[in-house]
């Protein structure tokens, strides 16, 4: 979605609200496309004392795999993005200021970039996930470890007595 901001460039206090959805199901992260639903983008461009401020909120549901136990689960994704818009830069480049292209800004491209750059790097099915046993591979959230405990060789004679 390309937004034309001409009507608020010279109107202090003016604002243009927007809301749209984008399909990012083609965005690949290590062979997985996590966006199972379209990404909802809601925001506004506002003229504050002659400066244009762009604010947007992205939200969707991601299909994730737990990094500890390997369980597949859905998780909510939300990210807020804010920057300033300008017709031209004075001086050095600034990552917080985006240049307008003929008084327009490509919101779809900004939303895609914000989505990709803010994907979670570690996903857990729950905060207290116990993961998998390194010995037997049991999911410790669901079952107990099936590994046979190693006996200290110095106590092996006593362990034999316990088995009898």
Distance of CA 75 to the CA centre of its chain: 10
Phi, psi of 144 (to 5 degrees): -85, 160
How many CB atoms lie under 10 A from the CB of residue 64?
22
Q: Which residue has the tokens 């669901």?
A: 142
> Per-10-residue mean pLDDT for the chain, 164 residues long?
88 92 87 87 92 94 91 93 84 74 91 92 91 91 85 76 72
pLDDT in tens, 63-91: 988 999 999 999 999 999 999 888 877 76
CB 37 within 8 A of CB 25: no
Q: What is the pLDDT of residue 135?
A: 86
Hey, what's the torsion of the CAs at 83, 86, 90, 92, to 10 degrees?
A: 40
| Prediction pTM value | 0.77
pLDDT in tens, 26-35: 888 777 788 8
CB 32 within 8 A of CB 65: yes
CB 79 within 8 A of CB 58: yes
Q: What is the pLDDT of residue 91?
A: 65
């Amino acid at each position: 979605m390309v937004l034309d901001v001409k009507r608020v460039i010279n109107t202090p206090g003016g604002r243009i609200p927007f809301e749209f959805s984008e399909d990012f199901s083609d965005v690949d992260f290590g062979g997985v496309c996590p966006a199972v639903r379209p990404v909802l983008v809601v925001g506004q461009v506002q003229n504050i004392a002659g400066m244009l401020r762009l604010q947007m909120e992205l939200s969707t549901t991601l299909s994730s795999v737990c990094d500890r136990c390997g369980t597949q689960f859905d998780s909510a994704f939300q990210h807020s993005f804010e920057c300033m818009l300008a017709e031209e830069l004075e001086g050095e480049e600034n990552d917080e200021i985006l240049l307008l292209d003929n008084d327009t800004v490509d919101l779809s491209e900004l939303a895609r970039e914000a989505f990709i750059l803010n994907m979670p790097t570690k996903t857990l099915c729950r905060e207290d996930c116990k993961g998998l046993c390194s010995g037997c591979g049991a999911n410790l959230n669901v079952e107990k470890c099936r590994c046979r405990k190693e006996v200290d060789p110095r106590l092996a004679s006593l362990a034999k007595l316990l088995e009898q």
